[in-house]
Amino acid sequence: MLTTAPRGTKDIMPADVKAWRYLEETMRRICAQYGYKEIRTPVFEHTELFLRGIGETTDVVEKEMYTFTDRGNRSITLRPENTASAVRAYIEHKLYAEPAPTKLFYIGPMFRYDRPQAGRYRQFHQFGIEALGIQGPNIDAEIILLAVQILQSLGLKDLKLKINSVGCPKCRPLHREKLQAFFKPHFDELCKDCQSRYARNPLRLLDCKNPHCHELGDGAPSLEECLCDECREHFEGLKKLLTAAGIEYEIDHNLVRGLDYYTKTAFEIQYQPLGAQSAVCGGGRYDGLIEEVGGPATPGIGFAMGMERVLLALESQNLLPAEMESMDVFAVCPNQEYFPTVFKTVIDLRRAGLKAEFDFQGRSMKAQMKQANKVNARNVLIFGEDEFARGQVVLRNMATSEQKEIAITDIITNLQAEV
């Protein structure tokens, strides 16, 4: 146990970090194009924030939170998502006093006591967007485009964008009644969770993972029929903008977020080849959330993208860049008497901005050359005895095998010219 990471967590090893950085850099670059600024919130918050901000009837809150009492007797929870924290920070730092929209993005680890499997972990990473302060569908379309642009610029094809409108507290009660009437004859057949959702939150019956509940939901009254004029207009506006931008989408009435503060737009981007965990990105509008968490009534919309899932998708399509790590120079020191000079040279090279490495163990010349190959050194400096006596070293270009003698005092200028 001591030598394995906890279930559902993973080390990101040096060989994997390149792919992570590539993904993060792509996300940061595209966020800058769209004018989104990074926010970094604590990885833990007061539990109450998530009870309010995610909702007490959700699976995340009911079953998946890492909650503990700290030494000061406060209930603390490791963040299972970042929206609630971003909204808390928005209120705490009075960002609502600045001109709307407030455009934020985040990248970081989230924690859920989920059942681990491929694409589902207990510590996982999300990239996400929150756009606060704007009412109409224009910003909904913008953030969907941002998500799509990231995935497309990584080279992913076969993405499926699903959208829906979950209405608002004005139009949902009618749908709620219709849903309850629809499911009533089948109440006894519903799973335990759905039986409890039936009264508390019947909209969530539509996204139950249980296959039988799913079947029972076939033909359930759709929210679209019940939308009020404002929600209908908003949804039509969004569809128009997506079409104008040339983005294909599918309307999925079962795409729901069943809490009062989730309003209007809900969307998901799927990458089908990932199978059961095909959702790479999910989001929606939450016009009631900021008020719920204690701020002024402010509209908002956001999404979160699962980084591990995007990486799985990229890996499966061979879309990860195969760029090799390399060193600019490796200093070979066959005689330990010269080591202080070699050490000083390497340090000076590093101070000059070059990537330089040497052998720490006083090994044979052959072993040091082997190591130079292993670290993919583009040049090697050999501090041979004859040359050293004359204040010279051999500089070898590893790609061409060309070598020349240079003065020890000219090493930096020569290497800067090579690199």
Q: Which residue sits closest to ligand AMP, CB atoms considered? A: 306
| Interacting residue with ligand AMP among 162, 175, 204, 309 (CB under 6 A) | 309
Alpha-carbon distance values, 128 to 9, 160, 180, 223 (Å): 20, 18, 34, 27
Asked if 306 touches ligand AMP (CB under 6 A), the answer is yes
Judge residue 90's burial from the number of C-beta atoms within 10 Å of its C-beta, 0-12 exposed, 13-18 middle, 19 or more buried: buried
Asked if 304 touches ligand AMP (CB under 6 A), the answer is yes
Judge residue 216's burial from the number of C-beta atoms within 10 Å of its C-beta, 0-12 exposed, 13-18 middle, 19 or more buried: buried
Closest separation in Å from C-beta 121 to ligand AMP = 4
Site for ligand AMP in 83-122 (CB under 6 A): 112, 114, 119-121
Strand order in the sheet with 377-382: 356-358, 327-332, 377-382, 392-397, 403-407
- What's the rounded Cα separation, in Å, for the pair 38 and 41? 10
- What's the rounded Cα separation, in Å, for the pair 218 and 195? 17
Q: Which helix (H) or strand (E) holds 186?
A: none
Alpha-carbon distance values, 393 to 320, 328, 373, 381 (Å): 39, 16, 19, 7
Cα atoms in the 13 Å half-sphere on the side-chain side of 141:
18
* Residue number with CB closer to ligand AMP (121 or 383): 121
Closest separation in Å from C-beta 283 to ligand AMP = 7
* Residue number with CB closer to ligand AMP (45 or 230): 45
| Interacting residue with ligand AMP among 106, 124, 198, 261 (CB under 6 A) | 124
Site for ligand AMP in 266-285 (CB under 6 A): 279-282
CB 81 within 8 A of CB 117: no
* Residue number with CB closer to ligand AMP (126 or 345): 126
Number of residues that bind ligand AMP (CB under 6 A): 16
* Residue number with CB closer to ligand AMP (262 or 338): 262
Closest separation in Å from C-beta 280 to ligand AMP = 5
* Residue number with CB closer to ligand AMP (226 or 305): 305
Site for ligand AMP in 178-237 (CB under 6 A): none
Question: For the chain, how many helices (H) and strands (E)?
Answer: 15, 16
* Residue number with CB closer to ligand AMP (274 or 331): 274
* Residue number with CB closer to ligand AMP (283 or 334): 283
* Interface residues toward ligand AMP, by CB under 6 A: 81, 112, 114, 119-121, 124, 126, 279-282, 304, 306, 308-309
